[in-house]
Structure formats: C-alpha cells, structure tokens
Amino acid sequence: MKDVVSIGKKVYERKRLILCNLSELYSSFKLEYPNLKISLSRFCSLRPKWCVLAGASGTHLVCVCTVHQNVILLIHGAGFEEEYKQLMSYIVCEGAGRECMLRHCDKCPSKDNLVQFLRSKFEDYDYEDIVEYNQ
C-alpha cells in the first residue's frame, strides 16, 4: 500500500486512517464545534482525499470484519446513548491494549458488568415486540 496520496501536481500527502465511521466522527466534530452549522452529508463530502476509511483498499491493519462491525451496528440499532467505545469500558481496562483485547489481562473487568448493563437496558422490552430494520 502506498503511504501517500497525490493531491496535486507533484504534491503528496501522507495517508491518514480514519478509525471510526463518519457518523461518529461527525458527532465528535459537532461536540467540539457546536456553533458551526454543517450537515452530515456536507461533512462527509469535505473529507480530505488523504483521510482514508478503514476497510479501504490496503488498510488491513484495522479489523472491519462483519463480526466486529455487526457489534457496532447492533449497538447503534439498539438506540443506546453510549457509543461502543464507552461500552468497551465494561469489559476491558482503561486504555485497553492488545492483552486486554485478547482477554489475556487479569485486571480487566469480567463480562458480567456488560451483561448486567444490557439486562438493565432491555428489562422494559417484551420479547414479542416487533423489530423493524432496513437491509
């Protein structure tokens, strides 16, 4: 993979990998600059050419497999106010490293914390509620 992108005649810029989806990035931008009025579609269209999304050709250092991406989509679809990074704090150490992510860390909280959190979120729902989704 080339580390640079041509942005003009003999002008090159080093590629930067965006590690979250553009909706999350837009939310962060709006929190940091609440007075700027910009739509999500306009925000996405202004993304510099050298800022590439994870999953783009040659960006294999970041996992974007369906298993891991589906977790993010499920969290979003469930309507949680928390983002997946906040939910990760229930099962891994703060600033989680490789050992934590592979579940080899003895200091990480158990999954029981996350299970308890999820049960509290879903206790008001009936198992027979109708779920609508887009495909």
* SS3 annotation, 42-111: HHHHCCCCCEEECCCCCCCCCCCCHHHHHHHHHHHHCCCCCCHHHHHCCCCCCCCCHHHHCCCCCCCCCC
Residue with tokens 């994870």: 54
Burial of 117 by CB count in 10 Å (0-12 exposed, 13-18 middle, 19+ buried)?
middle
What was the pLDDT predicted at 1?
47
Full-model pTM: 0.43
What was the pLDDT predicted at 96?
66
Give dist(CA 21, CA 71) in Å, integer.
Answer: 13
Summarize pLDDT for 106-129 with one digit per residue, the tens. Answer: 888 888 888 888 888 878 777 776
What was the pLDDT predicted at 62?
53
What was the pLDDT predicted at 63?
61
The residue ranges of the chain whose pLDDT is under 50 are 1, 61
